[in-house]
């Protein structure tokens, strides 16, 4: 028998969800059966799957250590730390780590096996002593928001489960304010709003935009922008993101005829080639510059990447414009 004492990082969640995280290779049906048969107990008693667990609760699991280890085997995966660049830390306290993600770095791991910013963040927090993977049975620091691989800027990494819940709730309830800067082809009106629906093709990892909903799977997407200035057919936009959809800003601007410079999927191919030849730019000039968590009364800002500033200066813009956010 193995007994687990619930800590703050495991509390305030359903018993069955905790067990699913603890033993990810055990099916939901199997775990519910073990609860019914009292092979798993909460505080020595038979409990329902939807029982909320709190700090100090004791869970008794009447499995062998080998069986539990088999159900937890995914936890043995090694952290990919092949990228050696140091983390650009914008803010840190005992609950939250806020990072400035560079281009060409994934937010979280995918099937390619490339290093991601969360891999590096977990390693940093482990070495610093803020996270102990042995003591934290079901909680691992994770990114609360995601940026595309070649989008730069703010990524939030809660250090514990209560903070992760707070941040996730703020994002889910749209109690956030997100400001981006983008360099686009064309000269949009001084201000504008783009509202419509996005449909993602998971096989090609591309998204299409339409002004009307075409199916139940379409997701509503909304943003507004301010044109901070245009030079020689190019414009610098300040974008307020009302929803957070995959590829949203890139797709919506491209659909309106204002593709983001350097965007390999939705941008202008000839222009992108010229940008690479002249400036070495091979990713979209899209940057998450400000993120406000309204319920927590916290705002974080991230300076533009040097490559973005270089492009602005070459087109006659003053990078200080972007700091007026």
Whole-angstrom distance, CA of residue 202 vs CA of residue 219: 14
Pair 20, 38 in one domain: yes
77 or 291: which leads in pLDDT: 291
Local confidence band at 275 (pLDDT 50, 70, 90 cut-offs):
confident
Pair 313, 190 in one domain: yes
Q: Can you give the pLDDT at residue 279?
A: 82
Tell me the pLDDT tens digit for each residue of 287-325: 999 999 999 999 999 999 998 998 898 888 876 655 555
Q: Can you give the pLDDT at residue 36?
A: 93
Looking only at the bridges linking them, the beta strands covering 152-158 and 286-293 are: parallel
Q: Can you give the pLDDT at residue 75?
A: 45
CATH of residue 6's domain is 3.10.290.10
**Is the residue at 42 inside a domain?**
yes
The percentage of the chain sitting over the pLDDT mark of 90, rounded to a whole number, equals: 60
Residue 33 has pLDDT above 60, yes or no: yes
Tokens of 176: 């956030």
Residue 78 has pLDDT above 60, yes or no: no
The Cβ-side half-sphere exposure at 249, using a 13 Å CA radius, reads 28
Query: Residue 41 sits in which domain range?
Result: 2-76
60, 63, 64, 68 alpha-carbon torsion, rounded to 10° = -90
Tell me the pLDDT tens digit for each residue of 95-137: 999 999 999 999 988 777 778 999 999 989 988 889 887 777 7
Number of domains in the chain: 3
Tell me the pLDDT tens digit for each residue of 9-18: 888 899 999 9
Which among 179, 139, 213 is positioned nearest to 292, based on CA atoms? 179
Name 219's bridge partners.
198
Residue 212 has pLDDT above 70, yes or no: yes
Backbone angles phi, psi at 312, to 5 degrees: -60, -45
Tell me the pLDDT tens digit for each residue of 152-194: 999 999 999 999 999 999 999 989 999 999 999 999 999 999 9
Backbone angles phi, psi at 293, to 5 degrees: -100, 100
Name 240's bridge partners.
179, 224
Q: What is the DSSP letter of 234?
A: E
Pair 134, 232 in one domain: no
**Is the residue at 82 inside a domain?**
no
Residue 207 has pLDDT above 50, yes or no: yes
Contact 221, 243 (CB under 8 A): yes
Mean pLDDT for all residues in the chain: 89
Tell me the pLDDT tens digit for each residue of 20-31: 988 888 888 989
Name 116's bridge partners.
106
Q: Can you give the pLDDT at residue 111?
A: 74
Distances (CA, A) of 267 to 125, 283, 313: 37, 10, 21
Whole-angstrom distance, CA of residue 87 vs CA of residue 107: 12
Local confidence band at 223 (pLDDT 50, 70, 90 cut-offs):
very high
The Cβ-side half-sphere exposure at 66, using a 13 Å CA radius, reads 0
Pair 21, 69 in one domain: yes
Pair 217, 197 in one domain: yes
Which residue, of 76, 110, 128, is where some domain finishes? 76
Q: Can you give the pLDDT at residue 79?
A: 54
- Complete DSSP assignment for 191-232: EEEEEEEEEEETTTTEEEEESS--STT-EEEEEEEEEEEEET
Pair 166, 185 in one domain: no
DSSP helix/strand/coil, 134: coil
The kind and range of the H/E element at 248 are helix 248-255
Which residue, of 24, 50, 76, is where some domain finishes? 76
The burial of 179, by beta-carbon neighbours within 10 Å (0-12 exposed, 13-18 middle, 19 or more buried), is given as buried
Q: Can you give the pLDDT at residue 324?
A: 56
Local confidence band at 67 (pLDDT 50, 70, 90 cut-offs):
confident
Pair 213, 290 in one domain: yes
């Amino acid at each position: 028998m193995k007994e687990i004492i619930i800590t703050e990082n495991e509390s305030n969640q359903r018993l069955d969800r905790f067990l699913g995280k603890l033993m990810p290779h055990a099916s939901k049906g199997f775990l519910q059966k073990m609860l019914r048969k009292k092979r798993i107990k909460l505080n020595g008693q038979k409990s329902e799957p939807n029982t909320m667990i709190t700090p100090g609760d004791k869970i008794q699991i009447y499995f062998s250590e080998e069986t539990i280890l088999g159900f937890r085997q995914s936890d043995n995966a090694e952290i990919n730390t092949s990228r050696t660049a140091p983390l650009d830390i914008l803010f840190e306290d005992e609950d939250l780590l806020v990072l400035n993600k560079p281009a060409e770095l994934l937010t979280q791991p995918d099937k390619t096996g490339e290093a991601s910013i969360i891999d590096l963040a977990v390693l940093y927090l482990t070495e610093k002593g803020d996270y102990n993977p042995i003591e934290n049975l079901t909680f691992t620091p994770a990114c609360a928001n995601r940026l595309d691989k070649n989008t730069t800027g703010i990524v939030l990494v809660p250090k514990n489960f209560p903070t992760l819940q707070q941040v996730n709730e703020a994002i889910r309830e749209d109690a956030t304010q997100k400001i981006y800067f983008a360099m686009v082809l064309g000269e949009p009106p001084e201000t504008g709003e783009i509202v419509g629906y996005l449909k993602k093709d998971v096989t090609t990892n591309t998204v299409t935009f339409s002004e009307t909903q075409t199916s139940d799977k379409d997701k509503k997407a909304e943003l507004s922008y301010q044109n901070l200035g245009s030079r020689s057919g190019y414009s610098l936009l300040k974008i307020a993101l009302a929803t957070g959809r995959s590829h949203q800003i890139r797709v919506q601007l491209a659909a309106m005829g204002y593709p983001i410079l350097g965007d390999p999927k939705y941008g202008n191919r000839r222009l992108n080639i010229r940008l690479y030849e002249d400036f070495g730019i091979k990713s979209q000039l899209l940057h998450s510059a400000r993120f406000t968590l309204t319920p927590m009364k916290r705002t974080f800002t991230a300076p533009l990447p040097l490559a973005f500033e270089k492009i602005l200066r070459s087109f006659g813009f003053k990078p200080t414009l972007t700091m007026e956010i």
